[in-house]
Structure 1
Amino acid sequence: MSDRLDLPPSKLVAIIDAQLELARVGPSFGNLMDCAVLKAAQLTGADGAVIELVEGSEVVYRAACGLAEPQLGLRMQIKGSLSGHVLTTRQAAVCADSETDERVNREACRRVGLRSMAILPLLFGEHAGGVLKLAWREPRPFDQDEVALGQAITDMTAAMMFHASQEGPHVLQRKVTQDPATGLANRSSFYEQLRVRLDDAITRGGHVGVMVARVRPWRKEVMAELARRFTAECREGDVLARLGGDEFGVILSLAARRSIVQSQVSRFSHAASAQSVLLPDGEKIDAVVQFGSALFPEDGNGVSDLLLAARAAPPAG
């Protein structure tokens, strides 16, 4: 594994470009981590990447891309995992083949679909608050500066999150699970809570309803106003989140059958179109919002399946 200073000029330039892009992300830790995993995967050629943050005795997948993206929001026990080893030693570790490496949680690796990985500590001062994991679908040696490249992105990400980590775990938790522009839950938090709802529905044989809403035009003021309107329409137990720049998601607490889900979509649609959005300069904008919905278990059995079905549903609104 090469020292970072021994990297060829082209890779050093790529690191600098990636770090500059991270610096431009802004105050959203969710967006920062999303950018970090994408850049780390691009720089190293990994098939996927994930940032796992420590919460108690578990790590939570707070950002993910590529083959790891379907696991966003997943909680895993630290004990008995290679991530746990990295958190304890605060040193990077690599696994050339998860099927033969006794340090790894083999079941978890199979769930994600990875066979080899590099795990890099996310250091907040002297404390390891999480890891960035680079994942590949096939066994492989690590001889292409993967660790040095990934660690450069990890260190930059940790540096940008450092001050929040010093304010206490509750401050960091809020910042990594909340969209700062709207105050809503972010994508990672939404996925995590949807996993909980699905597990509960599987246990008791129930249903889970999901709604997505895509907004045009995408503007900060428009998203903030729609967030306010959608919050007013939420019933007790609903979970409203901002899934991306132009997209909201709602986990619907009432979802015994499809007609109930559809009636709630209509209610949100009416709230979105009830009146124009007034901008600070006095201009009025008529936002176009397309809604879609899906119902578990009819439309899918997992988080990714349900959201894909909701996005592919004939638009309403």
Structure 2
Amino acid sequence: MPTQEQLLSVIHTQTEIIKLGHDLNAVMTLIADKIQQITGAQGAVVELDEGEDMVYRAVSGGAAHLLGLRLARENSLSGLCIAENRILYCEDCENDPRVDRQACHRVGLRSMAVVPLIHAHEVVGVLKIYSDQVAAFKLRDLKLLSLMSETFAAAMYHATKFDAQVLYKMATQDSLTGLANRALFLDCLRQRMSLAERQQQSLNVCMLDMDRLKSINDQYGHRVGDAALKEIATRLKATLDDEVVIARLGGDEFALILDMNTDRNQALLTMQDISQACDAVFNFEEMSLQIGLSIGLSVYPEDGVEIETLLECADLRMYAQKHQRKQQGINKNHQVGLQA
């Protein structure tokens, strides 16, 4: 049986979920974090069922780098968990015919437990804990996993009483700006990089950081800061084509995936358009606020063939440009960050 301390942790999680309100993405992340901590698992994942795939929509611990990962539902323990609507435990993936062994190797797990997540009487995904050790989990861990899945179901009920499509939207959309969230961005980036590799094309990725958000929050409060973030999102959507993936990764961070038909020169022109649009003064209520973006661009496969490498390259170039903007004290007509 779970210890008293573990049960208290589950109750505390329920209290924290109430504070998060209808932000389903934050709820999923919290639940992944808590079940990983409570059970001592190496990692924890909330996987949502999206057609033929299971998609990692919230991750914790050793699974952090797998956010947005898309795996085939067929011949997987998660898929079987959904089909049978019951908790399943794999003590050793090397000797269990129910699992996708190749996917297990990709994630780096040896044992795992999965429990179905139910919304409106329908199984919409699974909550998974895993370890790189054989037979890492005991009966009490499975009971805790089941308790946490019930907590998640209650949270989803209060977050949305609509259909699965609305649930998907809430799980993949930034609640403040309506843009794609980090999980959806990484999912799209993996898919587009795979397509670019097959078609032997390049792919442009941008990291963007909003300037002066902290000072706006400190001086005027988070209500004004949130309004400024939403204004940046509005300007990005107005400036960019529908084919561009626009995401808010969290805080003052945004990211873009440009259309594969966009070459480097076109990408530079697009970045200049973004700079011009986002550096314009933001008039809010009776205030005139100077906002803007620092931008870094990286190109697949020229700057890297792995997601982490590509994003780190764009990040470094973005911070180099942010430093340059601060040094020069300029807000307009600056050069897009291309050099690390």
TM-score w.r.t. length of structure 2: 0.83
| 204, 227, 232: which one aligns with 1:226 | 232
Which amino acid counterpart does residue 94 of structure 1 have in structure 2?
Y
In the alignment, is the contact (CA less than 8 A) between 1:80 and 1:105 conserved in 2? yes
Corresponding position of 2:291:
287
Which amino acid counterpart does residue 195 of structure 1 have in structure 2?
R
| 266, 275, 283: which one aligns with 1:278 | 283
Structure 1: gaps of 5 or more residues: none
Matches within 5 A, 1:51-90: 51-90=46-85
Deviations 1:262-313 (A, max 9, x none): 44333322322221x3334x23333353322221112222333322322233
Shift of 1:227: 0.3
Q: 2:76 and 2:147 mapped to 1: Cα distance?
A: 23
| 182, 200, 209: which one aligns with 2:204 | 209
Which amino acid counterpart does residue 140 of structure 2 have in structure 1?
D
Higher helix share: 2
Shift of 1:88: 2.0
Aligned CA distance change for structure 1 residues 314 and 186 (closer, same or farther; 3 Å): closer
Secondary structure (helix, strand or coil) at the match of 1:145 reads helix
Q: 1:249 and 1:214 mapped to 2: Cα distance?
A: 8
Shift of 1:245: 2.6
| 295, 302, 309: which one aligns with 2:306 | 302
Bigger radius of gyration, 1 or 2? 2
Secondary structure (helix, strand or coil) at the match of 1:70 reads helix
Q: 2:143 and 2:284 mapped to 1: Cα distance?
A: 46
In the alignment, is the contact (CA less than 8 A) between 2:304 and 2:310 conserved in 1? yes
Which amino acid counterpart does residue 117 of structure 1 have in structure 2?
M
Q: 1:27 and 1:238 mapped to 2: Cα distance?
A: 27
Aligned residue pairs, count = 310
| 13, 22, 41: which one aligns with 2:36 | 41
In the alignment, is the contact (CA less than 8 A) between 2:280 and 2:291 conserved in 1? no
Aligned CA distance change for structure 1 residues 288 and 149 (closer, same or farther; 3 Å): farther
Shift of 1:82: 0.7
Aligned CA distance change for structure 1 residues 42 and 278 (closer, same or farther; 3 Å): farther
Q: 1:34 and 1:209 mapped to 2: Cα distance?
A: 28
More displaced 10-residue stretch of structure 1: 135-144 or 104-113: 135-144
| 168, 176, 188: which one aligns with 1:193 | 188
In the alignment, is the contact (CA less than 8 A) between 1:124 and 1:165 conserved in 2? no
Percent of aligned positions that are identical: 35
Secondary structure (helix, strand or coil) at the match of 1:313 reads helix
Shift of 1:259: 4.6
Aligned CA distance change for structure 1 residues 165 and 24 (closer, same or farther; 3 Å): closer
Secondary structure (helix, strand or coil) at the match of 1:182 reads coil
Q: 1:151 and 1:229 mapped to 2: Cα distance?
A: 44
Deviations 1:55-79 (A, max 9, x none): 2232222122333233322322222
Q: CA RMSD in A?
A: 2.3
In the alignment, is the contact (CA less than 8 A) between 1:187 and 1:242 conserved in 2? yes
Secondary structure (helix, strand or coil) at the match of 2:235 reads helix
Matches within 5 A, 1:163-174: 167-174=162-169
In the alignment, is the contact (CA less than 8 A) between 1:273 and 1:286 conserved in 2? yes
In the alignment, is the contact (CA less than 8 A) between 1:217 and 1:288 conserved in 2? no
Q: 1:37 and 1:74 mapped to 2: Cα distance?
A: 15
Corresponding position of 2:253:
247
In the alignment, is the contact (CA less than 8 A) between 1:254 and 1:261 conserved in 2? no
